[in-house]
A and B are shown apart, each in its own frame.
Chain A
């Protein structure tokens, strides 16, 4: 089944403890991206990747890192999480930036 998977789906952590949210797609998509969704602020793009080893900042990249070492995986790294990074995170992928973007199920993160 063609899909975008994220792990974990729910995470509670404490300030400063490094964490990684994984994202994987099995559709051989080149374009992948991360978003956060917050009440009143909507969905905002954090980072995107056009292909392996090609990443760029979205609108809210501060406090996040990404890597794209393989085409199928695009992990989101929070090296020192803070409470203002409590949010619902989505990963997405598409054949390229001109095609339909498919979203993962989301990861709900709480930083205490």
Chain B
């Protein structure tokens, strides 16, 4: 059964710092991996989607990488801002068409 793990569970950094969030999954038979952002009490906003054949995707200050063979993905946030404070979730679409989520990393960017 596919399992997705995210570390760290929580992270607090000063504004302007570059940071890396980690996601790992146990079964490499995935269609894609998606990173989401969730603000308190709100829905999920899609940040980046990486297809299984791709190695990375970039959007503005965000860069996500995927190493399917080792079951790992990272989300790199450059020059962090207080507005980046949220919970970041990664999810894999597994071989049985199910979207499996990690437990998230709660990020606080201090002014």
Contact = CB atoms under 8 A, between A and B. Distances in A.
Contacts of A100: 34, 46, 49
Q: How large is the interface on B (under 10, 10 to 19, 20 to 34, 35 or more residues)?
A: 20 to 34
B104 A42 contact: yes
Contacts of B43: 90, 103-106
A90 B91 CA distance: 15
A85 to B, nearest CB: 19
A64 interface: no
Interface in B32-74: 32, 34, 36, 42-46, 49, 51
A7 interface: no
Interface stretch (B10-18, B19-27, B75-83, B93-101): B93-101
Contacts of A66: none
Given A45-B98, A48-B98, A90-B44, A98 B32 contact: yes
Contacts, number: 54
B31 A97 contact: yes
Interface of B is mostly: strand
B103 interface: yes
A97 B44 contact: no
Chain A interface, >50% SS class: strand
Contacts of B34: 100-101
A59 B42 contact: no
Given A98-B32, A103-B44, A105-B42, A45 B103 contact: no
A14 interface: no
